Amino acid sequence: MDSSSMEEKTLPMFEVGPCEDAYHLGFLIGQRFSKQIRSRLATDLILQNQLRPFAQTHPQSQPLIKALSDANQNKLPRYWDELLGTAEGSGVSVLDLILLNFRKEILPFVPNTAKNSKVDTADDCSDVLVVSDSMAVAAHNEDANVALVGHTYLIRATLSNGLSFTAYTYAGELPSCAFGFNNHGLAFTLNSVPPTEDEIVAGGIGRNFISRDLLEAISMDDALTRIHSSEASVGHSYNLIDTRARRILNVETASRNRVSVREVGEIPFFHANMYLHLQVQQVHDENSLSRQKRAALLPKESKTDFLSLLGDTDNAKYPIYMAGPILYTLCTTVVDLDEQTLSIIEGNPKEGQVTHVFLISENSILHNRSVPHPG
């Protein structure tokens, strides 16, 4: 990890909007976080060793990138404009941001010879969810490649229609490929899942575009409608949280509009990075299987238990809480549906260093311990 990524251990936050259009929103975000975006482009090994060489030299790359660009621009044009604005505002190439935002849709088509297994796992996440009489909680570890350390930020956007959202965002990507919430009381966390190559449809809608769209859902039904009609290329697992209705759904998706919805109830539900209820051919993931087995053994009676589970480092090779050298838990977030709050914890959640607490429906900050970062 280089010193520049260590400098900004506190999570910077940018309040933006309403803007005249989506391009301007993206432009302001790109301008504000130009340093983080440029630093990420300079240090992201997946981008440098796999995505860029593929885009520059492989004959298959141009048709694939064009198909992805066209499909996403046509279906979700505002978010495409936001991406273009982010590139312009941060002074980086549009192609680099396309490669970052569609990395999950492009990587399956990169020839194996270009892949290095050490940097191939871009992200993992763990969630434990429950809705019982005594508590309704979603707790989530945001795990990513160590290259993302120091390259994340919070976007708090207000749109011209009055909707506002807060989104934990990876530098250069659309808000949010991680977790977020809006002032309609709707929140989500995400888990990547690994379908096999023949389950993937080239040139479909990108996961970053679908989750950006979820930030604007006004109800659980609206969120499900957006997922059902998303025409995803790869697939994903969404933990949809409706604080007003006190409901959590785990939604697993795959290409060709395959969707499975499971309502979370009083039996705590743990999700790593595997399909659990949608019937899809998937890549065998030892890391996820290990976390799934370990989570099954640990107590899940209280919020404290949830944080202890997410902080567990019992398995040296595949811990639930990750501290490098390749995968790293960037933060932990806890959504309490009864308090209607979303909290962010930095460091091991067992120690519970809460840096931010947001009131979800109001989209307001109750507590922000992070130090504002200049510039």
SS3 48: helix
Phi, then psi, of 48 in degrees rounded to 5: -70, -40
Could you tell me the CA-to-CA distances from 234 to 10, 158, 195, 209, 255 in Å, in that order?
32, 30, 7, 12, 6
- Residue 331 forms beta bridges with which residues? 142
- Can you give the pTM of this predicted structure? 0.94
pLDDT of residue 122: 53
CA 68, 171, 357, 306 torsion-angle sign:
positive
CA distance 165 to 217: 10
Domains of the chain: which residue ranges?
A: 13-114, 126-359
Q: Indicate the SS3 state at residue 195.
A: strand
Per-residue burial over 312-349, b if 16 or more Cβ lie within 10 Å, else e, is beeeeebbbbbeeeebbbbbbbbbbbebbbbbbbbbbb
Per-residue tokens: 218? 């006004």
Parts of the chain with a pLDDT under 50: 1-8, 114-120, 372-375
Does the structural domain 126-359 have CATH classification 3.40.50.2000?
A: no
Question: What pLDDT is attached to residue 365?
Answer: 87
* Per-residue model confidence (pLDDT) at position 363: 76
Residues 109-122: tens digit of each pLDDT: 998 754 444 344 55
pLDDT in tens, 299-339: 999 999 999 999 999 999 999 999 989 899 999 999 999 99
